[in-house]
């Protein structure tokens, strides 16, 4: 009963801040999600076969379900949801049912304003239900991408590091290989070339794991044409590791990034796109920036954050500008959102 009353207070805060209720479908086409999101949800989805032979699933995530609803029904761009997601968990005794309460801003081009609105709305919700000792962790995936794209190394390595940043263990393997200049072997390279020519015969608009055949071929083409030798791997890895160690109050971040760029002979403006982080100074809260933070969700593309009440996670969220395209949109659509952890209120 207490949880229900608190949820009602949070929803009231969402409405005051201009968010409109969205009720995404509970049943989704599982093939549709797997085709566009790869294997990300396959192991966690609860699926069953319908009478028509189509494999359906209970929605595994309300952000994904809300995005699908937005694309299909053209719902309001400022939405909130209150409902349940259904997925398997790796832990024993974990519940299949996850109560979720969150907000999303979809399709708006006011990125900095929207990032701030989502976080400030979450903080207003915490205040309304009298959560105490609020702390915030923030990161920004786009800063890592800016760093990688500014470094002098083969294009295939840039693509690998950016693509697998969200997989810390494999990412560390890649750094070791880069440091030792251990590239893919000749057999793998020949297999890539063979697959490249096979895929050129396919429908170029066909989607495979969330990317069109033409997009995949463009990556293949860069890999095949890229020079195979690279001698500065050790130096590059040192720079990347140094960046991933940045951990400071946001009031110190400008100076930290400037000193980092200067020390590593990088252009001063490579981190110019972090206004969303700088904007959070207005919140007058205890906020820490951690460059290595927010890597556990594949679809984040920009600011990522977690709000804590003491040691308990109250909410988490971030920007995910690529997700709607992977779910069927013709181009990337700006999107940012956050979900409240109802177990901890």
Mean pLDDT (whole number) for 88-99: 69
Residue with tokens 């893919």: 184
In degrees to the nearest 10, what's the CA dihedral of 221, 225, 229, 233?
A: -40
Predicted confidence band at 89 (pLDDT cuts at 50, 70, 90)? Answer: low
* pLDDT cut 90: percent of the chain above it: 45
Which carries the bigger pLDDT value, residue 208 or residue 327? 327
Q: What is the pLDDT at residue 275?
A: 86
Mean pLDDT (the chain) is: 85
b/e 150-161 (16+ beta carbons within 10 angstroms → b): bbebbebbbebb
> CA angle, 212 as apex, 208 and 218 as ends, to 5°?
115
Over 50: is that where the pLDDT of 172 sits?
Answer: yes
The burial of 340, by beta-carbon neighbours within 10 Å (0-12 exposed, 13-18 middle, 19 or more buried), is given as buried
Mean pLDDT (whole number) for 132-155: 92
pLDDT digits (tens, 9 = 90+) for 272-284: 777 889 899 999 8
Whole-angstrom distance, CA of residue 241 vs CA of residue 171: 11
Whole-angstrom distance, CA of residue 138 vs CA of residue 124: 17
Comparing 89-103, 108-122, 300-314, the range with the smallest average pLDDT is 89-103
Please, which contacts does 236-243 make with residues 24 or more away whose CB atoms are closer than 8 Å?
Answer: 236/151, 236/152, 236/153, 236/178, 237/175, 237/178, 237/179, 239/147, 239/151, 239/264, 240/147, 240/148, 240/151, 240/161, 240/175, 241/175, 243/144, 243/147, 243/291
Q: What is the pLDDT at residue 148?
A: 95
Q: What is the pLDDT at residue 185?
A: 47
pLDDT digits (tens, 9 = 90+) for 240-263: 999 999 999 999 999 999 999 999
Mean pLDDT (whole number) for 148-156: 90
Predicted confidence band at 129 (pLDDT cuts at 50, 70, 90)? Answer: very high
Predicted confidence band at 72 (pLDDT cuts at 50, 70, 90)? Answer: confident
Q: What is the pLDDT at residue 94?
A: 59
Predicted confidence band at 187 (pLDDT cuts at 50, 70, 90)? Answer: very low
The encoded tokens of residue 119 equal 């976080």
pLDDT digits (tens, 9 = 90+) for 14-62: 999 999 999 998 988 887 777 665 555 677 788 888 788 888 888 888 8
Between the CA of residue 220 and those of 212, 216, 217, 326, what are the distances in Å?
Answer: 13, 6, 5, 19
pLDDT digits (tens, 9 = 90+) for 201-246: 788 877 765 567 787 777 666 665 555 556 788 999 999 999 999 9
Q: What is the pLDDT at residue 186?
A: 47
Mean pLDDT (whole number) for 62-75: 85
Over 70: is that where the pLDDT of 338 sits?
Answer: yes
Q: What is the pLDDT at residue 198?
A: 77
Over 80: is that where the pLDDT of 91 sits?
Answer: no
Whole-angstrom distance, CA of residue 279 vs CA of residue 299: 23
Q: What is the pLDDT at residue 41?
A: 62
Predicted confidence band at 155 (pLDDT cuts at 50, 70, 90)? Answer: confident
């Amino acid at each position: 009963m207490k949880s229900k009353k608190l949820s009602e207070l949070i929803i009231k805060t969402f409405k005051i801040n201009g968010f409109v209720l969205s009720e995404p479908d509970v049943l989704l086409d599982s093939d549709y999600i797997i085709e566009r999101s790869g294997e990300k949800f396959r192991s966690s989805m609860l699926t069953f076969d319908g009478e028509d032979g189509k494999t359906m699933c209970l929605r595994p995530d309300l952000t994904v379900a809300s995005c699908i609803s937005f694309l299909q029904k053209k719902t309001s761009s400022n939405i909130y949801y209150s409902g349940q997601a259904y997925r398997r968990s790796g832990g024993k005794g974990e519940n299949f049912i996850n109560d979720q309460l969150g907000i999303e801003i979809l399709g708006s081009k006011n990125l900095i304003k929207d990032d701030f609105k989502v976080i400030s709305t979450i903080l207003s919700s915490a205040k309304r239900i009298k959560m105490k000792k609020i702390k915030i962790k923030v990161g920004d995936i786009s800063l890592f991408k800016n760093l990688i794209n500014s470094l002098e190394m083969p294009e295939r390595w840039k693509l690998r590091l950016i693509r697998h940043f969200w997989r810390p263990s494999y990412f560390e393997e890649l750094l070791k290989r880069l440091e030792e200049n251990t590239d893919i072997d000749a057999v793998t390279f020949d297999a890539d070339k063979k697959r490249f020519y096979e895929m050129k015969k396919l429908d170029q608009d066909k989607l495979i794991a969330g990317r069109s055949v033409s997009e995949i071929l463009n990556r293949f083409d860069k890999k095949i044409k890229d020079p195979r030798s690279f001698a500065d791997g050790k130096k590059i890895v040192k720079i990347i590791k140094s960046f991933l160690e940045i951990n400071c109050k946001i009031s110190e971040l400008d100076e930290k990034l400037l000193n980092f760029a200067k020390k590593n002979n990088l252009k001063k403006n490579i981190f110019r796109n972090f206004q969303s982080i700088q904007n959070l100074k207005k919140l007058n809260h205890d906020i820490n920036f951690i460059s290595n933070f927010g890597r556990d969700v594949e679809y984040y593309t920009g600011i990522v954050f977690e709000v804590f009440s003491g040691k308990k996670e109250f909410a988490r969220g971030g920007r995910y500008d690529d997700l709607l395209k992977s779910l069927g949109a013709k181009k990337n659509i700006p999107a940012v959102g956050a979900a409240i952890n109802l177990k901890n209120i």
